[in-house]
Chain A
């Protein structure tokens, strides 16, 4: 057992190394500087009691958009056909683990060669290799994208992203791919388990021990970094009643001394682990403030020092703020950015109650939230600005873009192009801008409006347009541009031959709030090429259906769909969910 000092990978990497893999500068968001005053004033009077109202496609689409990424027509049909309770019970469950990321980075002519992992096999336990860590991290991030594109109809992927945003490590900062994989797998496996268990695992997670310096925290030179974020960002938060002190941070840091990354398996095959190195542990008694009831954690020597960590977590989780904090973060991520007094009283407090009553089990709270009348309150429908993943990956899913025929290399390149596309929009998977996560989820008063600025709104439009225009395509490389098959897509609708139904069905899938009749009429005029009779579209569609290989019939329909979908997706309503 020893500290991994000699193997600290951060000594081997430089900003240039990371720059080699990071193709896009992360977006720096500014808080809203313009005068923008909300007009919605009335507080919502709905609470966490079970929803018993209408269960139509509107509510089903709302549930799907908030828990999956985008909504596919088949999913909407399926879940709107169940009851609300059935739908939530089917969605709020874990998914089957998709299998680990693989060596898909030995792209011909790239010069990349992994001496330890053959192409197509997984690298997640391979020895650290500074030359290959970059490609492995790309593979990991691409895998995260792929998991979302191929997601089962459960909240698993979104929950994992929720935790990644709340319990942040940065892959490029850690720069040990197998550590970051282990971190992400840990989030995945514990996404629906017990919050306290999750925090315990996070505390000992090798990537986190790198990222927030835990592995450098020892009795001679305590490092408060993790001890601070554990309270300020992960558990207690900064709410009005979060009264932990600087002293609490220092004492918690002492409790955590001794946890280090094991050098074993770092440069050899195997999973990376952390160990408790008791000579580094501070054995003094730790005195906490009145916020924690003046608790003293008795210092212990030898391996018994580990027990202090459990005691620390017990203390934190006994505090009411922890349940409130997690409830607020869940609400902010899944429901709406702003929590007013009524919501705090009617929704947050009851969620926290459920957390405590169930010893911080996560599932009961999620079920209660997604079955609550507050969640289906009409005012909450469409009130979230899509994050880049909801926007881009959601669009790919909704448009049923099929890339299953790509080989592993093209598939990686496709995923990497999506990663950089989302990075340009402000969300770099694996590398949130700071330990606090993406600003959209914590920075008052801007919140999710952060996602939209003059640069990103244009880039969102370009990403959309590139899928829509047949001559354009989402750029992967010289020989691979990916388009939506609009004809195949609208075939999945109930009644694509009726322009009114087509617009209504699409609006439900793409838009957060419904369009006015005037706007719908405008869009119908595109499908009708300015004619006033619906049958012009109906006939054109029928003709195409009769003989799909007829290029003229196909062109007639396709030209109008391109002209239709481009502005349809450029409506502000498309940016909402």
Chain B
């Protein structure tokens, strides 16, 4: 286990309340600091990726209100009437009428739209463009590993031989769907646990059997499956985690995406340390019948967006129900958007750039990016230009959600892409919390030269110290009575030896702890 990078994940949420609360450092019996670190890891951040398979029509999902008449001209067969659209607060775009709950999330600042995401030299093949999105390659580059796989490979070296272990008991990633996607394919090994279906998850958890014929061969098959199940690297752990969670908010029925997200919720709420999930919703390849002839607000696309809307809504409520809404970030993506010009068959062909959604309590919110430009003279060959390369968004997640530095991000993405603000300040330093380690934040972490310590404390005397794992004070970093609410100090860590440490903010009211590593 490469503790250095692993720790970085734990550091953001590193709170050990009650443990270092007194000056005496009396650890609960049987707990070492390493165990506490692991426990912190179990509450680490999660990214849930929703793959909209087939190419989602961005122009009918997030509608640029300043181009309604042009849209009516160039895509009359699928055009949505203005009075049906869901308007958003302080925004130049509106949502498809099926997205009412997502609109509410947007208005609450829990959903962010990034417009015009694509890549240079768009490929219009489902297969190829899916591979490009999953592998994070250039348009003409063929890469047989996925960006998430490469990221996990870097974070968890030695997978799968050295796993599960005390530091990582859980699958590195979980995806639901037949087969392992390119997304989680590392250079050497696949980094995901694949659940073929939602059913196969419950079969695993409830110890149910898949059907097998009542024949000699069927008997052999049942035996092999039984042993295979017992041998699943993470199977037992997944069952253990999932069985802890019996209550959920209601999820909509007949909604395959909701079924999948319910599984994800079970795992996260049960304490799984799995940081990455991918679920799928297929059917977005709406060449025809995207809308109903008499009512463009209905049809296949509306049905799909309804599934998406209802599933995300239930998932977010469930996260809140379990009290883990702060640590989950959601993201939608699709291999491409659809053509500007519509088809007479009430559909649209393969296109280029499209919007992405990011959702969760942590997002910054609002709309990033300009409205796409539509004019009345567009022809069939015209496509929406990209404003943001999709890899910029991956990079932003890796940076702001998982704390990767430039070098680490480019290991996963091959290049350094300029990042976009996705995660709100509030997720790093949330306001109004009584006891929270987030009153103290140190970065970069792992430490590298000059570090910055941000802390909140006003008009009271505080000291900031560095201690090692044995509780010995290594350094007095700061002592004083700051006047501002949020304060920033610089801390030179050049002389510090490699190892794990805790930065402690001591004040009359409380002590805050932040784990760091060098």
Contact = CB atoms under 8 A, between A and B. Distances in A.
17 contacts: A38-B219, A379-B215, A380-B216, A382-B220, A385-B223, A385-B224, A453-B227, A470-B144, A471-B187, A512-B220, A530-B53, A531-B54, A536-B127, A540-B125, A563-B180, A570-B228, A572-B228
Nearest to B200: A522
Nearest to A39: B214
Contacts of B285: 531-533
B182 interface: yes
Contacts of B130: 529
Interface string A22-50: 00000000001010101111000000000
Interface stretch (A109-117, A354-362, A454-462): A454-462
A567 B194 contact: yes
A540 B220 contact: no
A457 B181 CA distance: 22
A353 to B, nearest CB: 25
Interface stretch (A415-423, A424-432, A548-556): A548-556
Contacts of B125: 540, 556
Contacts of A36: 222-223, 226
A449 interface: yes
Nearest to A32: B223
A559 B224 contact: no
A522 B126 contact: no
B213 A513 contact: yes
B120 to A, nearest CB: 15
Given A536-B126, A567-B196, A472 B189 contact: yes
B219 A529 contact: no
B128 A562 contact: no
Nearest to B186: A471
B145 to A, nearest CB: 7
Contacts of B128: 552, 555-556
A336 B216 contact: yes
A555 B179 contact: no
A575 interface: yes
B219 A522 contact: no
Interface string A431-466: 000000000000000001100111101100000010
Nearest to A513: B217
Contacts of B231: 454-455, 457-458
A381 interface: yes
Given A471-B187, A563-B182, A379 B223 contact: no
Contact of B215 (A40, A531, A533): A40
**For this complex, into which size category does the number of interface residues on chain B fall?**
35 or more
B142 interface: yes
B178 A556 contact: no
Contacts of B187: 471
Contact of B224 (A457, A531, A556, A558): A457
Q: Which 5 A-B pairs have the closest CB atoms?
A: A530-B53, A555-B142, A454-B231, A382-B217, A383-B216
Contacts of B225: 572
B140 interface: yes
Contacts of B213: 513
A383 B217 CA distance: 4
A523 B53 CA distance: 16
B217 A512 contact: yes
B219 A566 contact: no
Contacts of A560: 127
A102 interface: no
B223 A449 contact: yes
A523 B128 CA distance: 19
B266 interface: no
Contacts of A532: 282-283, 285
Interface in B93-138: 123, 125-128, 130-131
B197 interface: yes
B213 to A, nearest CB: 7
Given A454-B230, A551-B142, 17 more contacts: A40-B216, A385-B220, A452-B224, A454-B227, A454-B231, A458-B231, A512-B220, A513-B213, A530-B54, A530-B177, A531-B53, A533-B285, A552-B142, A556-B125, A563-B179, A567-B178, A573-B221
Contacts of B227: 452-454, 457
A326 interface: no
Contact of A381 (B189, B197, B217, B219): B217
A530 B282 contact: yes
Contacts of A551: 142
B280 interface: yes
Contact of B188 (A382, A457, A471, A576): A471
A540 B129 CA distance: 13
Interface residues of A, number: 62
Contacts of A379: 215-217
Interface of A: 32, 34, 36, 38-41, 336, 338, 378-385, 448-449, 452-455, 457-458, 465, 469-472, 512-513, 516, 522-523, 525-526, 529-533, 536, 540, 551-552, 554-556, 558-560, 562-564, 566-567, 570, 572-573, 575-576
B290 interface: no
A522 B221 contact: no
Contacts of B144: 470-471, 555, 558-559, 562
Interface string B187-203: 11110001011000000
Interface in B48-65: 51, 53-54
B157 interface: no
Contacts of B177: 525, 530
A217 B372 CA distance: 94
A551 B189 CA distance: 22
A402 B213 CA distance: 36
Contact of A576 (B127, B180, B224, B230): B224
B482 to A, nearest CB: 52
Contacts of A41: 214
Contact of A523 (B142, B179, B226): B179
Contact of B282 (A385, A516, A531, A559): A531
B296 to A, nearest CB: 22
Which of A40, A465, A570 has the largest count of B CB atoms less than 10 A from its CB? A40
A559 B182 CA distance: 7
Contacts of A34: 226
A448 B217 CA distance: 12
Contact of A522 (B53, B181, B197, B220): B197
A428 B261 CA distance: 46
B218 interface: yes
Contacts of B188: 471-472
Which of B131, B190, B216 has the largest count of A CB atoms less than 10 A from its CB? B216
A434 B78 CA distance: 74
Contact of B220 (A453, A555, A576): A576
Nearest to A521: B178
A516 B210 CA distance: 11
Contacts of A470: 144
A339 to B, nearest CB: 12
A347 B218 CA distance: 22
Nearest to B216: A383
B180 A540 contact: no
A564 B196 CA distance: 12
A39 B283 CA distance: 40
A466 B181 CA distance: 17
Interface in B382-428: none
Nearest to A41: B214
A379 B216 CA distance: 6
Contacts of B180: 563, 566-567
A522 B196 contact: yes
A224 to B, nearest CB: 38
B221 A563 contact: no
Which of A378, A448, A513, A566 has the largest count of B CB atoms less than 10 A from its CB? A513
A552 B216 contact: no
A383 B126 contact: no
A529 B217 contact: no
A536 B335 CA distance: 14
Which of B54, B125, B188, B230 has the largest count of A CB atoms less than 10 A from its CB? B125
A576 B217 contact: yes
